[in-house]
Amino acid sequence: MKTQEIRELTLNYIKASHPSIYFYAPEEGKVMRMIDDIADELGIEYVYTYDLGNGLKIRKGEDKKVKDYSISEISSALSHLRGLKEKALVIFLGAASIFNENPDSKASKRVLKNIINEIKEEGLPLMLLFVSTALSIPEDIERETIVMDIPYPSRDEIQGAIQDFVKEHGIQIKEELKTSLLNSLTGLSDSEIDNMLHICLASDNKLNEKSINIIISQKEQIIRKGGFLEFISIKDENNKAGALKKLQDWLADKSKIFKDIGRAKEENVDMPKGVFLFGIPGCGKSLSAKITAGLFDIPLLRLDIGKIMGMYQGQSEENLRQAIKLAESISPSILWIDEIEKALSGATSGGGHEGSETSVRIFGYLLTWMQEKKEPVFVFATANNIQNIPPEFMRKGRFDEIFFIDFPERDSLKEIFDIHLNKRRKELSSQSIDKVVQQIPEQKKYTGADVEAIVVEAIQKAFINKSQVTENELIEVLKNFKPFSETHEKSLKGYYDLVKEHGITIVK
């Protein structure tokens, strides 16, 4: 929903004396400015704010009791508000903290419920407005509360902010730079955008290509501070998987739609939803996520599924909600959900462990979002094992395709050896690498991670012995190395049984 639409809805609800609105917003300032503007337009003389730090304060109008001393306890503040005779808006800032961390929360929730009843039944001249970066509405008032999900600034709004900034500071910039600034500032709040532009200007006394790097660097820190998402840079990545050609060809086709989103929308082409990879650990699932970002040429955000699991009821879903909201604000983007089985393994019926209820709620929210999402966010989900993942998650329509990552074939192993040697600036001829791979028995299977470990050990031995890395060094390490296929022989059968059961495409 656009900002102007939210303003019009809020205006109508206040005119209709609806008792309660909850603004789920990335920052308070934007909402406060909107409420002030509406209060002026409607001629509302009294506006109060309440937060845990300052207690009850008068924002607009005159109230001697509030002015003379701070009403810090929420129960006292609510009692005072119930005695008001004039129409007033009461804004609760940091509402989630007020409800979850206030020691008097149980009593205050009941008082809020009573106030809402009095607004509806007795015409108490109040309207309760809750503002928070987290969505946490007490059950007591949930049915009477309208939720307004305030989005991050749209591309049009960011473009307007850039134009206002350059005009205010008398700066001339080319259209190409404006577009780059616009792309780099997506996913930031209004105040963050303003701060970024001022930082760039202070750094070089102008806006230029260097400004883009400053913004991206700062943006990575902001996203990382959220705790659930990591902005993955792919600038210095070697975009070669050394195998998985079928997967890379499939991704290359999907990338053509993301690279021409405008025309795709005009021609009513459905945006690709995402891909689900599972299989042998160390065979390139994580690298494939980075390759995808390179092919699509869009931001890659890694969701740490373990970190979203909170200790309080509803906290995990709220963490996931915030992460998804940010991914949508940066769209087109890739949301990489790594090791998704960690969050969903308890969502199967009869999961029977302590975290299963939370897993069920997360699973439900994730499925609904994946089914209904409108923003171009490509979901890249990976798992090492799907045995305990609910079958609904893998149903056609959730993803465009599901792939099983198998052990690489022998020809691919040569390329993988070459990649890891070159990565460490150690080159061997194609013939030497061929000789190394020929030493591998047909029945033995090696992962990409196995190959990397062999290369690392051979280079370390060569360094210790003050010699060059040769095919003989690699062969010597290979003879004594136990690959994943040997150390996890029993569990591998389960992988292949699942692939056969679900008819999943295999890539090597």
Least confident of 23-32, 295-304, 489-498: 489-498
Q: What is the pLDDT of residue 180?
A: 87
Report the top-level CATH class of 410-486: mainly alpha
Domain boundaries along the sequence of the chain? 3-149, 155-225, 245-405, 410-486
Structure letter (DSSP) for residue 264: H
Is the domain defined by 245-405 classed in CATH 3.40.50.2300? no
If you count DSSP H runs as helices and E runs as strands, how many of each does the chain have, helices first? 23, 13
Is the domain defined by 155-225 classed in CATH 1.10.8? yes
Least confident of 120-134, 150-164, 194-208, 335-349: 335-349
pTM of the predicted model, to two decimals? 0.75
Cα distance between residue 157 and residue 198, in whole Å: 17
CB 140 within 8 A of CB 113: yes
pLDDT band at 310 (very low <50, low <70, confident <90, very high): low
Record the tokens describing residue 320, joined without a space: 């996931």
Cα distance between residue 345 and residue 176, in whole Å: 47
Overall average pLDDT of the 451-466 stretch: 91
Look at residue 227 and tell me whether its pLDDT is greater than 80. no
Place of tokens 């009513």: 268
Same fold, 3-149 and 410-486: no
Overall average pLDDT of the 395-410 stretch: 85
Overall average pLDDT of the 54-82 stretch: 80
pLDDT band at 132 (very low <50, low <70, confident <90, very high): very high
What does the pLDDT look like over 467-485, one tens digit per residue?
Answer: 888 888 899 898 889 888 8
Place of tokens 């704010």: 49
Q: Could you tell me the fold of the domain covering 3-149?
A: Rossmann fold (3.40.50)
Cα distance between residue 184 and residue 240, in whole Å: 26
Q: What is the pLDDT of residue 46?
A: 93
Cα distance between residue 352 and residue 354, in whole Å: 7
